[in-house]
Chain A
Amino acid sequence: MTAPAVPAPAPTTTPPHPAPAHPTALTRVRRHLPRFGALVFLLAIGYLVIAPLVGLQRLAFEDDARGYSAAFDDPDMAATLVRTAGLALGSLAIALVLGTFLAWAATRLPPRLRLLRVLPILPIVVPAVAAVTGWAFLFSPRPGYLNAALRTLPWWNHLDEGPVDIYTLPWIVLITGFGLTAFVYLFVSAGFGNINAELIEAAQVNGSSAAGVFFRVTLPLLRPTLVYGGFVALLLGLGQFTGPLLLGRNNGIDVLTTDMYVAVSQSPVDYGRAAAIGSPLLLLGIAVVLFQKVILGDHSRFVTHGGKAFRSGGRPSWVAVTGIVLYGLVALALPLGALVVVSLSAFWSGRITPSGFTLDNFRRVFQESGITDAIVNSLTTSVISVAIALPLGFVAASLLLKGRRFRVIRAAVDFIVAMPLGIPAVVFGAGFLLTYSREPFILYGTRTVIVLVYVTLMLPFATRMQLSGMVSLGDTYVEASRTSGAGALRTTTEIVLPLLRPTIAGAAALMFVLLTHEFTASLLVRAPTTQVMGTILFDYWSNGSYPLVAAIALVMTLVTSAGVFVAMWAAGSDIFEKL
């Protein structure tokens, strides 16, 4: 060893011994402080999440459950239930098949075209309201661009309208399915990432064909992912609101969510009935969350992505490339193209006239104070909500990970935090509208109530993403800090937070994107004077100002894309996989 001789350090530099600890009254109080803090936290998020749901149910059960009888004595109710289930299952089937195919295709891309992997995620960037209006511009029976184009074909040229009527259930199912595909794709892609490449290679070496490998090895290995992703997609399908509202509402194609919206937004307003309509969704959401916690337990959450990442065993496939490009064209380029054309036109007709293109619509978007106010509201409420949800999620994640001492509190937090993912936003929207329109918190029409809803909806994301960040960080960094003499506070500020920065940045950006998109809950809690982008778009849609709708939809999309770019820049391109 070449180190110069250093005299053994004098032991006098060791810090003086603290007095031996005796359990005094003070230390006894201090020992219970963490439990007390955890309890306060539980009560806070418990009130935030559960109070609106309880408020709704109280109303529904008032006067001998008058709300329930009003809702379920309605002769249309059975049809609505069937339609809701059909919408959910139909769109789920479409999303599972498409999403799995795309995830498989993404692993079979040639190296030069690896960037195409993001294509199936991009539809998330387009707000649901924007996508749905885009589809309407394409397939509206009379003036839809693609319908007009199809009518030029010889076997349809006798038609005055159609051949597609987007305002019917099958098309609503299809479009909803497209919307869910991106989510399934994310889940399944992550599942592919967890499959050890050698398992696939072993199957090939042992003589399976490409199809054999897929059906006999890959698909069975993906089953847990597909089941879990399928449940999430099913819940999302049951809670679908935008498509049915914008496309089906005028033709009487009601599902539970739109029915519920009508009950609280059109006179006679009947909260009790609305609450009762939402109950099947509420119960199912709770059941799925419970199922997930009890059956899957802690295991699924603490799985770490070890081993070799999935390398597509197979050669690049042109089927894969074609499939992904085609999907990108259909799911992204078509509706966005329609939005661009309509936003540049003075009015919406089946004919595209490039000579008449004008930027007037965008000018109006930025001149009308109602619209600019809504944009400002969307941005400020989103930013504030993210700023609140992140620390809440951090505390919840820490409690879930480290709070083994308080088992009951921890289980309750785990459940409460998962609820907004299982229960449709429309139920929360109605609950918040009810709870914060009366004593003790009269917040109706303020931005505060929007922020409260947003924070609630984002709790699962804020918690899960930071939790997975903490899990992958492992214990040793923290233990090394503690054994180096740092207390819990210093360990958090100097070690955990800096190391989690990419995760937190990614979570923040993703939540910003989801919130600037937010339409369902916003529509319920907004007031005519307090709008966000999604709701103002809906108002113009209802008025029939279609070119303006298209312009607003595009502005929304741009704002969201900016958020995604920030997210990718801050957290790397795989942020979506951390969901």
Chain B
Amino acid sequence: MSHVRIEGLTKRFAGKPPAIAVDDLSLEIEPGEFIVLLGPSGCGKTTTLRCLAGLETPDEGRISLGDQTVLDAHGKINLPPNKRRIGMVFQSYALWPHMTVRRNIGYPLRTRRVAREQARTRIEEAAELVDCSALLDRYPAQLSGGQQQRVALARGLAAQPDLVLFDEPLSNLDARLRDQVRAQLHELHARLGFTAVFVTHDQSEALALGDRLAIMRAGRIEQLGTPERVFEEPATEYVAGFIGMSNRLPLRRQGEGWGLADQPGTDDPSGAAGQTGTAGQPGATGQAVAHELPVPRSHSEISARLRPDDLRLCPAEEEPPDHGVGLPAEVVDAQFGGRHMDVVVTVAGNRLHARAPLTGKPWARSLSRGQRVTAWFAKDAAIYYDADGVRTATHAPAAAVGA
């Protein structure tokens, strides 16, 4: 366990033009902390991890693990991976097929010259930690995917490295196994308290595992915070979109209230035509939809972000409650999802996704294409972003919202 400090890390890949994979990234990791780097593919999260491991040669920056400077681009220091006290777990497991599980787990101990007897007990301890004691004398090819990944985990932890790096270790597993191994990993971290950096593009994985999340975009950290904070208060629209607020509604100030803004490139051909709502056109552009929103006066163009859970549906003739914003909408598609319906509606050319609960109110079950409904959301359930995608100043209450 040790403090990890990354300062000004920059990595460019040669090409025309050169691609900046990591852009002046700084991050401090406390001892025992579990940091998750979350982002879509190509955002630089894996490159950052590989720089920490010493598998890439960064162009700029410093990295220290504990009191050891492992990278200093100016001082021409870039220690090879084997000179850093790390462990790493790979997406493809990377268990060496010609070695038994015991030799695989023992390899990092052998390279670090741990005495034979001690290594023996530590291999068995590590295997026990991940429930693989019975597999020690098998070869990787004889193991299932979940077993292989658990062995890989044991190998990464066996030498008790200062820092354990995880490169999307769960994404090759099928959904059920993924949940199992994830739970096991969470428990292991709670028990052993190793410092970890975990790369993933799966938001539920990130929320479940991380002490802190770093949402990455184009080689930079867009938001760094606890899972609760990132989930409830995404700082930018990009983070909101990534963390599950998939519904986006552009709004424009109209006198005292707010109306739906133009949606360029709308998929509804008549959407741009009407200035006021016409009979054949639900929620046309320019229609006033709300009087007050918790947004500072200085903003005139905003977008509201909503989780599907927070977009409610009711029959067209019903009025939404006072604290809600009602939108005339048309159903595009409705899918049965067990306890809820997944409904896609259009509001002035914006496709919105609603998750309508089926408990108690069977009305949503009968929704069909072309049906007029009212979609509404509570004003404080949405988060509002300005034209640059930055959250507007007035804070919505951080209380849990949603169904």
Contact surface of A with B, Cβ cutoff 8 Å: 1-6, 8-9, 11, 13-15, 17-18, 20-21, 23, 474, 476-477, 479-488, 490, 494-495, 498-499
Q: How far is the CA of A499 from the CA of B96 in the complex (A)?
A: 8
B115-149 vs A: 1/0 string, CB under 8 Å? 00010001001001111000000000000000000
Q: How far is the CA of A13 from the CA of B117 in the complex (A)?
A: 14
**B68-120: which residues lie under 8 A (CB-CB) from chain A?**
68-69, 75-77, 79-88, 90, 92, 94-98, 107-108, 111-114, 118
Q: Does residue B67 face the partner (Cβ distance < 8 Å to A)? A: yes
A482–B80 contact, CB under 8 A? yes
- Total residue contacts A-B, CB cutoff 8 A: 113
At the interface with chain A, which of B184-192, B265-273, B390-398?
A: B184-192
At the interface with chain A, which of B155-163, B237-245, B276-284, B361-369?
A: B155-163
A9-B160, A483-B87 known; 19 other A-B pairs, CB under 8 Å? A3-B130, A9-B125, A14-B162, A15-B113, A17-B66, A18-B83, A20-B68, A21-B77, A476-B90, A476-B92, A479-B90, A480-B90, A480-B95, A483-B55, A483-B81, A484-B111, A484-B155, A485-B85, A486-B111
A13–B83 contact, CB under 8 A? no
What count of chain B residues pass the 8 Å CB interface test?
Answer: 53
B160–A17 contact, CB under 8 A? no
Q: How far is the CA of A497 from the CA of B77 in the complex (A)?
A: 30
Query: Do A8 and B193 contact each other (CB < 8 Å), given the known contacts A14-B85, A20-B68?
Result: yes
Q: Hey, which chain A residues are within 8 Å of B77, CB to CB?
A: 21, 23
Question: Which 9 A-B pairs have CB atoms at the shortest separation, nearest pair first?
Answer: A485-B111, A483-B88, A480-B94, A484-B108, A482-B81, A476-B94, A486-B111, A498-B98, A483-B81
A477–B94 contact, CB under 8 A? yes
Closest chain B residue to A28 by CB distance? Answer: B76
A6–B129 contact, CB under 8 A? yes
A23–B75 contact, CB under 8 A? yes
A1–B80 contact, CB under 8 A? no
Q: Does residue B375 face the partner (Cβ distance < 8 Å to A)? A: no
Ordered by A's residue number, 30 sampled pairs between the chains whose C-beta atoms are within 8 Å are A1-B131, A1-B184, A8-B193, A9-B160, A9-B192, A11-B160, A15-B85, A15-B113, A18-B83, A21-B69, A21-B77, A21-B79, A23-B76, A480-B88, A480-B155, A481-B96, A483-B53, A483-B82, A484-B82, A484-B88, A484-B107, A484-B108, A484-B111, A484-B155, A484-B159, A485-B81, A485-B108, A486-B111, A487-B80, A499-B98
Q: Does residue B165 face the partner (Cβ distance < 8 Å to A)? A: yes
Contact surface of B with A, Cβ cutoff 8 Å: 1, 53-55, 66-69, 75-77, 79-88, 90, 92, 94-98, 107-108, 111-114, 118, 122, 125, 128-131, 155, 159-162, 165, 183-184, 187, 191-193
Q: Hey, which chain A residues are within 8 Å of B75, CB to CB?
A: 23
A8–B69 contact, CB under 8 A? no
Q: Hey, which chain A residues are within 8 Å of B87, CB to CB?
A: 483-484
A17–B125 contact, CB under 8 A? no
A490–B88 contact, CB under 8 A? no
Query: Do A490 and B111 contact each other (CB < 8 Å), given the known contacts A20-B69, A476-B92, A483-B53?
Result: yes
A495 in complex: contacting residue of B1, B96, B114, CB < 8 Å: B96
Q: Hey, which chain A residues are within 8 Å of B55, CB to CB?
A: 479, 482-483
Q: Hey, which chain A residues are within 8 Å of B191, CB to CB?
A: 5-6, 8
Q: How far is the CA of A479 from the CA of B82 in the complex (A)?
A: 10
B112–A15 contact, CB under 8 A? yes
Closest chain A residue to B83 by CB distance? Answer: A18
